[in-house]
Amino acid sequence: MVGVNFGLMVVPSGTYRALDLSKNLELCAAFDLSQQLALSTIMATHALCLAQLSRLSLSPAKQPILRIPRVSVPIVQVRHKGFKPRMLSKAEKALAANGIRPVMQKPKKAVKDTKKRKARTSYRQYDLKDADQFSLCDAMRYIRAFEVGQPPTSAKYEVHVKLKSLKNGPVVRNRLRLPHPVKTDIRICVICPPDSKYAESARAAGATLVGEDEIFEAVKDGRIEFDRCICQTDSLAKMNKAGLGRVLGPRGLMPSAKTGTVVKDPSLVLKDLIGGSEYRERLGVVRMAIGQLGFTPEEMQRNVKVFIEALKKDLAQLSDKINKELVEVVLSSTNSPGFSLNGEFRDLNSNLDPRDLSTL
């Protein structure tokens, strides 16, 4: 028997033709009960089939849910031992009273303290109680070991004096003639009228270059063949008009009255410059070449002593409001590290003989 699948039932084809699909589906209940039971025994029970038919034909269409029900299924939360419930704010409590679940907000990250630290007004100082300090002979011994294989004339001893000083305060700057000069081949330039008596005395004192216009042209062309420059007071206006400060200023060679290089008689200053050394404070430290590698410990001791005494005089001449103190003295060389000095010439517990440091 040919049948047509109609929903969950197989309806005979002849009966299907008699059905009017435009009518209500309730006419399907007029089918032969025996056929329905026979079919239901195969597919499902008759109660299930009737229930399915009733839902299809008699029940109204379900409307979509337009709102979320206020009552939800309770959820069982398992909390750990140290759990602490979060305290709700007033706004969240008001939402919870109206049946609205408050939205959990992420905790705000802690704002880092972005305040800038106050800049230091003085240079950092270190405690020297636990620092290793050496006598002059011991420091020279270790420095000479670092200079093995280096030409004796190229390596020089250098002294570094650390000061307790303000960053924005005045700096110490001066010129000194050591008892044992470190460098004697200094080239000195004297700016003065070429036909004056000052030019003749400057040449006799050992000046390398003497004149005005020739020196101005050489400096502008970049030919700086001198290590120090002195200006006679009569040539100061002409030198400033030539604009040498742009070239000599960055090199530290520009004459000025403050540094004692603008004088009435240049020949008197030449004697101090030849064999003399300049020192200047930079970043709270005063540095200067103090001796050649071939100097004996006694020569080094005299040079260091004269330098420290001159530096103390410069510090004493400063204003009472400006307090600069000598903190540490360090000896080094061209290729060696620095060794802090304790102020002694020789360690009494050491077997080192100063005569062993007198030869290269």
User: Whole-angstrom Cα distance, residue 275 to residue 262?
Assistant: 19
What pLDDT is recorded for position 167? 80
User: Whole-angstrom Cα distance, residue 152 to residue 1?
Assistant: 126
Q: At what angle do helices 136-146 and 297-316 cross, to 10 degrees?
A: 110
- Return the number of other C-beta atoms located less than 10 Å from residue 83's C-beta: 9
Edge-to-edge order in the sheet of strand 228-232: 209-211, 188-191, 228-232, 262-263
What pLDDT is recorded for position 106? 63
Q: Which of 10-24, 78-92, 190-204 has the highest mean pLDDT?
A: 190-204
Please give the helix or strand (H or E) that residue 235 lies within, else none.
Answer: none
| 36 confidence band (pLDDT: 50, 70, 90) | low
Structural domains of the chain ordered from first start: 3-57 (no CATH), 122-180+278-360 (3.30.190.20), 185-274 (3.40.50.790)
234-241: average pLDDT: 85
Segment among 73-77, 132-136, 147-151, 341-345 with least mean pLDDT: 73-77
261-280: average pLDDT: 79
| 47 confidence band (pLDDT: 50, 70, 90) | low
- pLDDT digits 0-9 by tens, 14-33: 444 444 444 444 444 444 54
User: For residue 209, is pLDDT > 70?
Assistant: yes
Specify which residues 177 forms β-bridges with.
Answer: 276
C-alpha distances in Å from residue 174, one per residue of 97, 185, 259:
84, 20, 7
What pLDDT is recorded for position 4? 44
Please answer whether residues 162 and 314 qualify as being in contact, where contact means their C-beta atoms are separated by less than 8 angstroms.
Answer: no
- pLDDT digits 0-9 by tens, 124-151: 777 777 788 888 888 888 888 888 877 7
- % of the chain surpassing 90 pLDDT: 1
User: For residue 53, is pLDDT > 60?
Assistant: no
Specify the higher pLDDT residue, 132 or 39: 132
What pLDDT is recorded for position 23? 44
What pLDDT is recorded for position 5? 44
Strand (E) positions, 283-334?
285-292, 325-333
DSSP state of 60: P
Specify the higher pLDDT residue, 309 or 31: 309
Please answer whether residues 35 and 16 qualify as being in contact, where contact means their C-beta atoms are separated by less than 8 angstroms.
Answer: no
Longest distance between any two alpha carbons in the chain, whole Å:
151
- pLDDT digits 0-9 by tens, 94-125: 877 887 776 666 666 666 666 667 777 777 77
Please answer whether residues 181 and 306 qualify as being in contact, where contact means their C-beta atoms are separated by less than 8 angstroms.
Answer: no
What pLDDT is recorded for position 200? 85
Q: At what angle do helices 46-57 and 33-43 cross, to 10 degrees?
A: 110
User: Whole-angstrom Cα distance, residue 270 to residue 276?
Assistant: 9
User: Whole-angstrom Cα distance, residue 94 to residue 99?
Assistant: 9
What rounded mean pLDDT belongs to the chain? 74
User: For residue 202, is pLDDT > 80?
Assistant: yes
Specify the higher pLDDT residue, 247 or 320: 247
Specify the higher pLDDT residue, 295 or 127: 295
